[in-house]
Copies of this chain bind each other. A is one copy, B any other.
Amino acid sequence: MSEFNLQETIALLSRTPAALNALLRGLPETWTHRSEGDGSWTVFDVVGHLIHGERTDWMPRARRILESGDARAFDKFDRAGHQQEIQGKSMEQLLDEFTTERAENVDALSRLDLSQTDLKKRGLHPALGPVTMAQLLATWAVHDLTHLHQISRIMAHQYREAVGPWSEYLGVMQCNGHSS
């Protein structure tokens, strides 16, 4: 395991939009617009959720820490907020929006020029309690990974029967959806 490193975190955050773009742009809707059932998310929903995070979660919380420390808790994140982001849009539009929003946020983060002291500054999560700037930024990057993990699982689900007896060899088929 590794300690938090700002440049390594930015390196990952910067790459996610292009990775999703390469995987999802033009991909048949069998993969992108079907869920795992029971009201679970489609890949399309997940991209909307990532956009909503760019707009309302990560950088607003980083700024809250710099402005108010732990004196004022973060605003709650709306887990249904993706619905407003995806309404009437195509996957291609969502990928473009995510690319633009992420690029602006990574640029804004870089311009904050955070010091080691800044990274230790504390904020207040409405449910988790005290957290640090470094923890927030690490979580931003791992949040990308948790949704990449989820996207691969949602897509694999569509071929759960098609793979026949191979399903026992395919780990993603045994994943029980902890990454919702």
Contacts and interface: CB of A to CB of B under 8 A. Distances in A.
B145 A156 contact: yes
A142 B166 CA distance: 10
Nearest to A157: B1
What copy number does this chain have within its complex? 2
Interface in A56-103: none
A44 interface: no
Interface in A103-133: 125, 128-129, 131-132
Interface residues on A, range: 35 or more
A142 to B, nearest CB: 5
Contacts of A5: 28, 30
A18 B143 CA distance: 21
The A interface is mostly helix, strand or loop, or mixed, namely: helix
Nearest to A166: B139
Interface in A1-39: 1-5, 7-8, 11-12, 15-16, 18-24, 26-28, 30-31, 34
Given A2-B162, A15-B24, A142-B173, 13 more contacts: A1-B159, A1-B162, A2-B30, A4-B162, A15-B22, A129-B165, A139-B163, A145-B155, A145-B172, A146-B156, A146-B172, A150-B171, A175-B179
Interface of A: 1-5, 7-8, 11-12, 15-16, 18-24, 26-28, 30-31, 34, 125, 128-129, 131-132, 134-135, 138-139, 141-143, 145-146, 148-153, 155-166, 168-175, 177-180
14 contacts: A1-B162, A8-B28, A18-B23, A19-B22, A21-B22, A125-B166, A129-B165, A131-B166, A139-B170, A142-B170, A148-B151, A152-B152, A171-B178, A175-B175
